Chains A and B, each alone.
Chain A
Amino acid sequence: GIQVEQSPPDLILQEGANSTLRCNFSDSVNNLQWFHQNPWGQLINLFYIPSGTKQNGRLSATTVATERYSLLYISSSQTTDSGVYFCAVDAGGTSYGKLTFGQGTILTVHP
Chain B
Amino acid sequence: EAGVTQFPSHSVIEKGQTVTLRCDPISGHDNLYWYRRVMGKEIKFLLHFVKESKQDESGMPNNRFLAERTGGTYSTLKVQPAELEDSGVYFCASSQSGTQYFGPGTRLLVL
Listed in ascending order, the chain A residues whose CB lies under 8 Å from chain B are 31, 33, 35, 40-43, 45, 48, 86, 88, 94-104
Contacts and interface: CB of A to CB of B under 8 A. Distances in A.
Given A97-B31, A98-B45, A43 B91 contact: yes
A97 B55 contact: yes
B99 A99 contact: no
A86 B55 CA distance: 24
Nearest to B40: A103
Contacts of B91: 43
Interface residues of B, number: 24
Interface residues of B: mostly helix, strand, loop or mixed? Answer: strand
Contacts, number: 54
A48 B48 CA distance: 19
A41 B104 contact: yes
Given A43-B91, A48-B99, A100-B45, A95 B104 contact: no
A100 to B, nearest CB: 7
A99 B35 contact: yes
Contacts of A45: 99-102
